[in-house]
């Protein structure tokens, strides 16, 4: 397990979401997963999505894998973004807004508050519509009012506006901001952007095909 994290540092973010505690010593991935009752295959699938842009799990692997922890994993990610990363970035942004004068400060904070609303809407849609729909199908209940295709159509890119924010910070803000503050904030945002990107890939490459196979059962 430790080797895996050394190979791709960002995988460390996935552990807590699976409820895997740190301090695993020299144990193998399989042992660590078993200890925390995590499906090894699901864990590896997510590691693969994180690590290889071209990776697409085949349908058979998806059907053969125990995906009961997928939704808890995704919910834990949402919680991490909403309760930890966004407030952290917002605090930083407030500090910068104080330094750039009222006009720029207001533009930045308004942008961010709109963004937070978008972010919130995006995740509530998944939590209130998509996840319950998938759980219904898993329990053998049909739901003719929804199709996962609707999610595919509306699954918008929420990272884009964040990347734009970094551009705005380093290209267009007046130079009264201490470079340290800007740079730190930019790193924080880029890290979140990249993790959000992986998060939506997990949804597109694992969740969507899985729900599609569930839907096919009822055809």
Contacts with other proteins by CB under 8 A lie at 53-54, 56, 104, 107-108, 111, 114-115, 118, 149, 152-153, 160-161, 163-165, 167-168, 171-173
Q: How far is the CB of 162 from other proteins (least distance, A)?
A: 9
Q: How far is the CB of 64 from other proteins (least distance, A)?
A: 19
Nearer to other proteins, 35 or 167 (CB): 167
Nearer to other proteins, 35 or 117 (CB): 117
Nearer to other proteins, 76 or 186 (CB): 186
Nearer to other proteins, 40 or 186 (CB): 186
Nearest to 50 by CA among 2, 3, 5: 5
């Amino acid at each position: 397990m430790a080797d895996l994290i050394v190979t791709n540092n960002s995988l460390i973010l996935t552990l807590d979401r699976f409820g895997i505690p740190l301090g695993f010593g020299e144990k193998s991935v399989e042992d660590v997963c078993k200890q925390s009752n995590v499906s090894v295959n699901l864990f590896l699938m997510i590691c693969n999505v994180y690590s290889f842009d071209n990776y697409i799990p085949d349908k058979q692997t998806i059907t053969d894998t125990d995906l009961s922890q997928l939704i808890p994993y995704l919910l834990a990610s949402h919680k991490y973004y909403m309760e930890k990363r966004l407030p952290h970035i917002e605090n930083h942004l407030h500090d910068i807004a104080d330094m750039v004068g009222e006009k720029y400060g207001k533009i930045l904070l308004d942008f961010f508050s709109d963004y937070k609303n978008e972010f919130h809407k995006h995740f509530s849609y998944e939590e209130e519509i998509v996840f319950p729909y998938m759980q219904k199908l898993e329990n053998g209940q049909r739901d003719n009012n929804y199709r996962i295709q609707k999610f595919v159509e509306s699954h918008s890119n929420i990272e884009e506006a964040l990347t734009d924010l970094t551009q705005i910070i380093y290209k267009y803000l007046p130079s009264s901001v201490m470079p340290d503050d800007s740079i730190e904030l930019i790193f924080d945002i880029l890290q979140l952007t990249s993790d959000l990107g992986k998060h939506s890939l997990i949804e597109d490459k694992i969740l969507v095909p899985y729900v599609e196979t569930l839907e096919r059962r009822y055809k």
